[in-house]
């Protein structure tokens, strides 16, 4: 047995890598044999390397041999070409490459960087990554000048970072000087990916975005729809406003969207980004609205409800939120979005959390949309959350105030029992907010207090006899603010004071919401309202 057979694995891999670098690509059978030996070494098996040892020894006399990094990178290329996908091969392979790059690193060169990057790309395309190796590669690249780094290597670096999902600010800024210097030479996809990395990291960088914007405008006619959406999202996340770039993006969206194969989520992303950027373009909104109509209208199926899920509801919620912020009202689109919400609730027993319930309720109220089934389910979700206060510890005042929206989706045409249920839930939310501030010794923000006041005005009737008695426990001074119109402030105080008096007068009060809370109450009320 050769001495190399029992030598350390890195040494065996080094021999195999150097052997591969001298082996012609046309010798397919020999390549396959060497690849099998590589897999055996990586799995800890004993492998006969006598032929490879002899070739390596002969090569040493012929001239300088390739470095360890190059040898290991050659092996990863062979594994990728041979379509090796086993974890017990790739994981140790990348570990050895990481060790070679970090423990005894070779002097970093542009060629060495290229080899290591390609090795990681090969690993990623087979589903494997080594974070230590990636960190070492980024550190090595940060020491090189832009003139020493090939554009193709930057493309590979962007590919690797994007696939791994690197969002650490420090990591991105180590490579920033390379991207800025080479921006004009990078291809469209790489630039979009770089901005996407900064967008997910939420790192505002006006110089980088401005430089990218100027380069991107030259290729605007080649934007794909996913690239347009990605650019909008990146700008929105970083708060970057670039008018000329937006004009290019919007023009492409208007051209591509009508015939594109997209999802409700994509349409929502377009509109949500415009809302975040306050960059409304009615041509884009109309195109997105028409595409939503096409996507949401149930066609060609006997049971359209069966495909509606919680994910559908989330995507529809984002669309409604964006439309409410943009103030864009397209009746047919709003009708289809609302119908989809109803189908989602009607076809599934959806357990939605407070975040989604408050988001959807708030958006529907802003748009003036109403559906009894949707209103009942949203209110039920909020009631369920309020029954488990331990799950609400991390909820902000703003989120809880938004949840109040689910409590005034109840019209006056409904039975009084339903109205009482909605009032009771609203009072629970308000009491929770007040209690938290009292326990923490904090003051409620004036904006939150004004929102509370406004919500209660919409929920609490002006007739004290129609108000649930729990509301008598609310301190008028705590929920009434001068930030709201003075007349409404006085009205709210009068109602609450009258309610307190009513509570004091009644020693025994029959429960005003004795009837069980049921969807039948809501549907009955809606039928009554329609018939009247």
DSSP symbols for 412-424:
TTS-HHHHHHHHH
Cα–Cα dist 532/522, whole Å: 15
Q: What angle (nearest 5°) sits at the alpha carbon of residue 316, between those of residues 251 and 226?
A: 35
End-to-end CA distance of the chain: give it in Å, rounded.
Answer: 97
Final residue of a structural domain among 95, 121, 138: 138
With beta carbons less than 8 A apart as the criterion, state whether 235 and 199 touch.
Answer: yes
Residue 296 lies in a domain: no
Rounded Cα distance, 292 and 268, in Å:
9
Neighbours of 415 (CB within 10 A): 15
Is residue 232 included in any domain, yes or no?
no
| Cβ atoms < 10 Å from Cβ of 69 | 23
Q: What is the pLDDT along the chain (532 residues), one digit of tens a residue?
A: 344 445 677 788 878 887 777 776 556 777 788 888 888 888 888 888 888 777 767 665 555 555 667 778 888 888 888 888 888 888 888 888 888 777 655 556 777 888 889 999 999 999 999 999 999 999 989 989 999 999 999 999 999 999 999 889 999 999 999 999 999 999 999 999 999 999 999 988 999 999 999 999 999 999 999 999 999 999 999 999 999 999 999 999 999 999 999 999 999 999 999 999 999 999 999 999 999 999 987 654 445 444 567 888 899 999 999 999 998 888 999 999 999 998 888 766 678 889 999 999 999 988 888 888 888 889 888 998 888 877 787 888 889 989 988 887 665 556 777 778 888 888 899 888 888 888 888 888 888 888 888 788 778 777 777 788 887 777 767 766 554 544 455 555 666 666 555 445 443 343 333 344 444 544 444 434 333 3
| Widest pairwise Cα distance in the chain | 108
Residue after which a domain boundary falls, among 109, 138, 167: 138
Q: How many CB atoms are closer than 10 A to CB 177?
A: 13
Q: How many residues does this entry show for the chain?
A: 532
Token pair in block for residue 271: 């509109």
Domain count of the chain? 2
Residue 338, both tokens: 């609302």
Separation of alpha carbons 247 and 211, rounded Å: 16
| CB of 398 closer than 8 Å to CB of 448 | yes
Question: Do residues 56 and 17 lie in contact, with contact meaning Cβ atoms separated by under 8 Å?
Answer: no
Residue 337 CB-density burial (10 A; 0-12 exposed, 13-18 middle, 19+ buried):
buried
Of the residues 94, 112, 138, the one at which a domain ends: 138
Rounded to two decimals, the pTM is 0.81
Say if residues 404 and 452 touch (Cβ distance below 8 Å): yes
Residues 6+ apart with CB under 8 A from 435: none
Residue 224 counted as domain residue: no
Spatial separation of the C-alpha atoms in residues 378 and 362, rounded to whole Å: 11
Task: Mention every residue, 6+ apart, whose C-beta is less than 8 A from residue 405.
Answer: 358, 361, 362, 364, 365, 455
Residue 470 inside a domain? The answer is yes
Of 264, 261, 263, 288, whose CA–CA distance to 274 is shortest? 288
Q: Report whether 408 contacts 422 (CB < 8 A).
A: yes
Closest among 446, 447, 448 to 433, alpha carbons compared: 448
Domain of residue 88: give its range. Answer: 1-138
In a domain, 245, yes or no: no
Q: Answer whether residue 238 is part of any domain.
A: no
As a whole number of angstroms, the distance between CA 104 and CA 98 comes to 10
As given in the structure block, the two tokens for residue 125 are 């395309």
Q: CA 261, CA 245: separation in Å to the nearest integer?
A: 24
Locate the DSSP E strands across 91-212.
Answer: none
- Measured CA to CA, the distance from residue 75 to residue 251 in angstroms comes to 47
Query: CB-based contacts of 108: which residues, under 8 Å, 6+ apart?
Result: 140, 143, 144
Q: How is residue 250 written in tokens?
A: 């919007």
Selection from 281, 282, 288, 271 nearest residue 325 by Cα: 271
How far is Cα 315 from Cα 318, in angstroms, rounded to an integer? 5
Quick check: is 392 in a domain? no
Within a domain: residue 393? no
Closest alpha carbon to 297 in 287, 307, 286, 311: 307
Q: In the block, which residue shows the tokens 């049971």? A: 303
CA distance 320 to 289: 11
């Amino acid at each position: 047995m050769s001495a190399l057979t029992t030598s350390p694995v890195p040494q065996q891999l080094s021999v195999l890598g150097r052997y591969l670098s001298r082996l012609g690509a046309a010798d397919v059978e020999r390549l396959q044999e060497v690849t099998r030996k590589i897999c055996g070494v990586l799995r800890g098996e004993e492998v006969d390397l006598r032929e490879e040892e002899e070739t390596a020894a002969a090569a040493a006399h012929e001239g300088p041999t390739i470095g360890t990094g190059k040898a290991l990178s050659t092996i990863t290329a062979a594994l990728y070409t041979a379509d090796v996908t086993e974890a017990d091969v790739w994981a140790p392979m990348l570990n050895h490459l990481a060790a070679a790059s970090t423990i005894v690193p070779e002097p970093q060169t542009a060629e060495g960087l290229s080899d290591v990057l390609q090795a990681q790309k090969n690993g990623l395309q087979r589903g494997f990554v080594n974070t230590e190796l990636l960190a070492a590669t980024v550190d090595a690249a940060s020491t090189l000048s832009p003139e020493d780094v090939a554009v193709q290597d930057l493309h590979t670096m962007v590919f690797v970072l994007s696939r791994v999902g690197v969002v650490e600010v420090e990591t991105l800024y180590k490579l920033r000087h390379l991207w800025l210097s080479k921006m004009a030479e990078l291809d469209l996809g790489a630039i979009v990916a770089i901005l996407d990395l900064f967008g997910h990291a939420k790192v505002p960088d006006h110089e980088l975005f401005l430089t990218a914007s100027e380069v991107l405008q030259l290729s605007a006619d080649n934007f794909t729809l996913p690239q347009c959406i990605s650019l909008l999202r990146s700008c929105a996340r970083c708060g970057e406003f670039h008018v000329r770039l937006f004009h290019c993006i919007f023009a492409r969206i208007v051209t591509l969207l009508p015939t594109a194969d997209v999802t409700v989520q994509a349409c929502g992303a377009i509109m949500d980004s415009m809302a975040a950027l306050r960059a409304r373009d009615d041509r884009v909104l109309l195109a997105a609205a028409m595409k939503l109509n096409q996507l949401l209208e149930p066609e060609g199926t006997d049971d359209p409800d069966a495909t509606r899920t919680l994910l559908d509801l989330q995507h529809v919620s984002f669309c409604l939120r964006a439309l409410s912020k943009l103030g864009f009202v397209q009746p047919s689109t709003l009708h289809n979005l609302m119908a989809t919400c109803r189908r989602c609730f009607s076809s599934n027993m959806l357990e939605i959390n407070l975040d989604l319930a408050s988001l959807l309720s708030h958006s529907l109220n802003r748009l003036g949309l109403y559906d009894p089934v949707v209103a009942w389910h949203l209110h039920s979700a909020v009631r369920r959350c309020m029954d488990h206060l331990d799950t609400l510890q991390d909820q902000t005042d703003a989120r809880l105030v938004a949840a109040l929206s689910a409590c005034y989706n109840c019209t006056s045409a409904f039975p009084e029992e339903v109205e009482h249920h909605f009032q009771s839930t609203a009072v629970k939310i308000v009491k929770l907010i007040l209690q938290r501030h009292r326990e923490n010794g904090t003051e409620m923000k004036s904006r939150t207090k004004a929102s509370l006041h406004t919500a209660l005005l919409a929920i609490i009737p002006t007739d004290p006899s129609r108000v649930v008695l729990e509301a008598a426990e609310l301190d008028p001074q705590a929920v009434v603010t001068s930030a709201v119109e003075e007349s409404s402030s006085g009205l709210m105080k009068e109602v609450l004071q009258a309610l307190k008096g009513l509570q004091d007068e009644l020693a025994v009060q029959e429960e005003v919401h004795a009837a069980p809370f049921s969807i039948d109450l809501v549907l009955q009320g809606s039928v009554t309202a329609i018939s009247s």
